Amino acid sequence: MSTKSNMSMRIAAIAVSILFSLVILYPIVFIMMVSLKNNKEFYTNIWGFPQVVRWNNYVYAWYEGQIQLYAGNSIIVTVSAVAISLLFSMLAGYALAKLHIPKSELIVSILMGLNFIPGVAVYVPLYIQLIKFKLTKTLLMLIIPYAAWQLPFSIYIFKKFYATIPSEILESARVDGSGELRTFFTIITPLVTPAIATVIVFNFVSIWGEFLWANIASSSSNKIQTLPVGLLNFKGEYGIEWGPFGAAIITIIAPLFVVFVYSQKYFIQGLSAGAVKG
Amino acid sequence: MIGRCTEMNRSKHMKRKYTFMGVLFLMPAIGLYLLFMAYPLADVIPLSLSSWTGFGERKFVGLVNYQNLLGDKIFFRALKNTIYFAFFSSIISVALGVMLAWLNLYIRRFLGNVCRTILFAPNMIAPTITGLMFLFIFTEDIGLLNGILEAIGLGKLQTAWLVNSKTVLPSIVAVTVWRQFGLPMVLCFAGLQNIPAALIESAYLDGANNRQILFRIYLPLIKPMIELSTMFTMLGGLKIYDTVVALTGGGPSKLTVVMPMWIVENAYAYTSFGYASALSVVFVIVVFIFLIILNRVFRGEEYEY
């Protein structure tokens, strides 16, 4: 690989990769800088670093812009929905992989097929149903459907991982008289921690950013607005205040980047699980 | 003989016991999914055959809602835009992703890791947020894009990107591509990494150049990853809604309306739940047609190494 053509290839590769990285980074850096300027400076000094660093924009976005409320809702909804879908899909994945469920392959295929159906197609009947269950105007209106929609993919991942555990481990636990639930939680599940991480990260990202259903649901009460919905309103109300608006955007994406650096591997693992045969 | 018989009976009995446990384990998940996805889904078709505003009795009207679709110009525009977004955002994202994954092979490991992390990062940002972020870039008077064009002497290309009917759809595609092309890149890079180095080295020894290696070896071998990438980005494109809401709200004058938006508007602004359900049914059919086409396009020889 030391020929001349490979040298120029390498230089071209570095140049193009760095160029694209800048295209990704620059808008984010730009908004970070905007988030520290006031409107006057935004119009007079769009490009440069802020002359006076105005952390105040963040305080303003958090309290006046109600990011506080939206963030609280988003955290409650995301954590609960992720927890429910995780527990249920673990149990189901295990049952389908190891507990002699007839037609288990077919069940997974049907679930994955249904998973292709865009959520928006069921929102009307779902809304009607939630009224019947008296779940509107509460965060449960988001938590329960979110948990349900994440199930097919999570079950698919868990079934795959549980299937790789040798049945001998199960047998010997059973012979030792360990009950099925205990075997499941203390012996089997610790062996699939990569799957757990994958499912958590994947579901966290999809639920945290979900907008369409959250927007419809919060038409029943604006107390249940999540971050994506709230931020859109923020734009409506304070559209001209670019500084606090930028601050609100940075507030939402900053925690994600922290999570991201640690979890990138699992996220990709989850996505590529679909391509691996078996 | 007798011993073996009871042994078999016993194992059959045990198996049945575990199946029973299995059903118990399976029930919470299946129950939740049936209640909040499958059951509402089953209700969409009867709803689409009725007229209902949310109050009183549903009235069965047969295929009237579907007939009304044919005269609904905005429906056709929404369908066209949705297909446009699905097609262009997936093709461009996958092409860029494959290219950058391939280039990544020629870069030192550390720099490659850094670039991949950066390029994949926007996937974590919700589409609503990326849409709002790009308001800063596309806005006419103070937007970043017009500023850059001015600075590099292409000032005459400046335009109101989100108002001009020629630029608004490509602008939305650009935002979507910006957000998602890192995904095909990491998937394809994972595929490329699995290809044995010996295979590539022997191709070099046989005198193959970089381009031949890309088209004859790399691309055929990562076909499953390319298919998967196309599927993810295409489904993402079909479901585009958040980005459009944040950038244009469907405007100017409904030019950028997409299927999910028209469904939601009919249901919640006009309370024509029947008509919205008919739109939903058509939307689901379109999604499955796309999946079938994708499956056809990628069918064919499988290569192994």
Within a domain: B92? yes
Same domain? For A112 and A243 the reply is yes
Give the nearest chain A residue to B122 (CA atoms): A24
Pick A119 or B286 by higher pLDDT: B286
Q: Of the candidates B54, B32, B38, which has an alpha carbon nearest to the alpha carbon of residue A122?
A: B38
State whether A17 and B41 contact (CB < 8 Å): no
d(CA B275, CA B58): 12
- How far is the alpha carbon of B239 from chain A, nearest alpha carbon, in Å? 7
Strand-pair partners of B59: B51
d(CA B7, CA B206): 62
A155 to each of A104, A108, A158, A275, B28, how far by Cα in Å? 11, 8, 5, 16, 12
d(CA B126, CA B115): 21
> According to the model, what pLDDT value does residue B155 have?
72
**Who among A122, A210, A275 is closest to B40 (CB)?**
A122
d(CA A93, CA A152): 10
Q: Is A133 helix (H, G, I), strand (E, B) or coil?
A: coil
Same domain? For A125 and A166 the reply is yes
Within a domain: B265? yes
Paired tokens of B30: 């299946």
d(CA B280, CA A120): 7
> According to the model, what pLDDT value does residue B57 have?
79
The mean-pLDDT minimum among A28-42, A98-112, A135-149, B285-299 falls in A28-42
Number of domains in chain B: 1
**Who among B26, B106, B232 is closest to A10 (CB)?**
B106
**Host H or E run for residue A41:** helix A39-44
* B61 φ, ψ (degrees, to nearest 5): -125, 10
Secondary structure (DSSP) of chain B: -HHHHHHHHHHHHHHHHHHHHHHHHHHHHHHHHIIIIIHHHHHHHHHHTEE--SSS--EE-TTHHHHHHHT-HHHHHHHHHHHHHHHHHHHHHHHHHHHHHHHHTTS-HHHHHHHHHHHHGGGGS-HHHHHHHHHHHH-TTT-HHHHHHHHTT-GGG---TTTSTTTHHHHHHHHHHHHHTHHHHHHHHHHHHTS-HHHHHHHHHTT--HHHIIIIIIHHHTHHHHHHHHHHHHHHHHT--HHHHHHTTT-STTTT--HHHHHHIIIIIS--HHHHHHHHHHHHHHHHHHHHHHHHHH-S-----
Mark which residues 64-93 of B lie under 8 Å from A by CB.
Answer: none
pLDDT tops 80 at residue A192: yes
Same domain? For A103 and A145 the reply is yes
d(CA B74, CA B264): 13
State whether A120 and B241 contact (CB < 8 Å): yes
State whether A242 and B28 contact (CB < 8 Å): no
Pick B151 or B98 by higher pLDDT: B98
Residue of B136, B258, B268, B285 best to disrupt the A interface, most CBs of A under 10 A: B136
The mean-pLDDT minimum among A51-55, A147-151, A219-223, B129-133 falls in A51-55
Average pLDDT, chain B: 86
**Who among A43, A259, A268 is closest to B186 (CB)?**
A268
Percentage of residues of chain B with pLDDT beyond 90: 35
Give the nearest chain A residue to B235 (CA atoms): A116
State whether A21 and B118 contact (CB < 8 Å): yes
Within a domain: B89? yes
pLDDT tops 80 at residue A258: no
* Contact assessment for residue B40 and residue A122, using Cβ atoms and an 8 Å cutoff: yes
> According to the model, what pLDDT value does residue B175 have?
94
Strand-pair partners of B51: B59
The complex's ipTM works out to 0.83
Same domain? For A8 and A107 the reply is no
Same domain? For A117 and A150 the reply is yes
* A235 φ, ψ (degrees, to nearest 5): -60, -45
* Contact assessment for residue B171 and residue B239, using Cβ atoms and an 8 Å cutoff: no
Q: How, if at all, do strands B50-51 and B59-60 pair?
A: antiparallel
Per-residue pLDDT band for A239 (boundaries 50, 70, 90) equals: low
State whether A47 and B40 contact (CB < 8 Å): no
Spell out which residues of chain B touch residue A16, defining contact as CB-CB under 8 Å. Answer: 99-100, 103
Give the nearest chain B residue to A127 (CA atoms): B40
- How far is the alpha carbon of A63 from chain B, nearest alpha carbon, in Å? 19
Same domain? For A24 and A109 the reply is no
B147 part of contact set with chain A, CB < 8 Å: yes
Same domain? For A50 and A71 the reply is no
State whether A264 and B126 contact (CB < 8 Å): no
Q: Is A102 exposed, middle or buried (0-12, 13-18, 19+ CB in 10 A)?
A: exposed
* A15 φ, ψ (degrees, to nearest 5): -60, -50
- How far is the alpha carbon of A164 from chain B, nearest alpha carbon, in Å? 17
- pLDDT, average across residues B200-225: 87
Within a domain: B286? yes
> According to the model, what pLDDT value does residue B287 have?
93
State whether A121 and B112 contact (CB < 8 Å): no
- CATH code of the domain in which B196 resides: 1.10.3720.10
Range of the domain at B178: 67-129+162-298
Q: Is A34 helix (H, G, I), strand (E, B) or coil?
A: helix
* B302 φ, ψ (degrees, to nearest 5): -105, 135
Query: What is the interface size between A and B, counted as CB pairs within 8 Å?
Result: 268
Spell out which residues of chain B touch residue A184, defining contact as CB-CB under 8 Å. Answer: 25
- How far is the alpha carbon of A12 from chain B, nearest alpha carbon, in Å? 8
Same domain? For A52 and A69 the reply is no
Within a domain: B17? no
- pLDDT, average across residues A55-62: 84
Range of the domain at A168: 65-275
Same domain? For A49 and A93 the reply is no
B32 part of contact set with chain A, CB < 8 Å: yes
- How far is the alpha carbon of A226 from chain B, nearest alpha carbon, in Å? 12
Number of domains in chain A: 2
Same domain? For A132 and A50 the reply is no
Same domain? For A166 and A215 the reply is yes
B293 part of contact set with chain A, CB < 8 Å: no
Tally of CB atoms within 10 A around B29: 28
- pLDDT, average across residues B182-187: 90
Within a domain: B58? no
- How far is the alpha carbon of B165 from chain A, nearest alpha carbon, in Å? 23
Among A19, A36, A56, the domain-final residue is: A56
Which residues 6+ apart lie within 8 Å of A82 measured at CB?
A: A147, A150, A200, A203, A204, A207
For the stretch B78-97, pLDDT in tens is: 999 999 999 999 999 999 99
> According to the model, what pLDDT value does residue A139 have?
92
